[in-house]
Chains A and B, each alone.
Chain A
Amino acid sequence: MSSFFGGSSSQPSSPSSPADAAARKEAVMNSIRGELALANAQELINKTNDKCFAKCVTKPSTSLSSSEETCLVRCLDRYMEAFNIVSRTYTTRLARERLDVQSDSL
């Protein structure tokens, strides 16, 4: 206990408590990463749902037709592909802008 509440500038004397703290920290970081990844996936699912429903189900009837289902499958694949193209283009651009700023400041 004294190592836990001890002087903040000294290293904790017990070998188990820093390992404990490191494990706890790792757990917190992983849960935050997990939450963000989940939010990202949910956003992508919501967007594909909206976009593909708008494109493929133009006149809703009593059930999804097979042509509508084909369209939805293709639309889903294309939306993911579009996301990847946009992501690649954006990150490449950001890297380029950063290089420009660096060479300007030299």
Chain B
Amino acid sequence: MSSPTRDQVANCVLAAIDTLNPQLESDRQIERSLTAKLFGREAPLDSLGLVNLIVTVEEQLSDDLDVTITLANEKAMSRRTSPFRSVDVLIDFILEMLSDEAKAAA
């Protein structure tokens, strides 16, 4: 199976935001855009909200693209800057994880 494209991954992340927003307080809504902030200074998600987002994105990737990945991995935790700080950075991180998995499987 070919690797998912950036657009496909972006659609999954945006769909996850659509799922999550109704559960968030009105002042904690995530902007539905590729540049939206997610976690960190002046970002909408608290730590529990970030957990929810990660879980929801993983489920969306599994449902839409049939890929199973763990986003909260050691690579993510050891980064100097969080891969969960904004939507576009998160998409890059997911693509990187998928690429690593494809190389490992080859």
- Mutual binders A and B: no
Residues of B at the A interface (CB closer than 8 Å) are: none
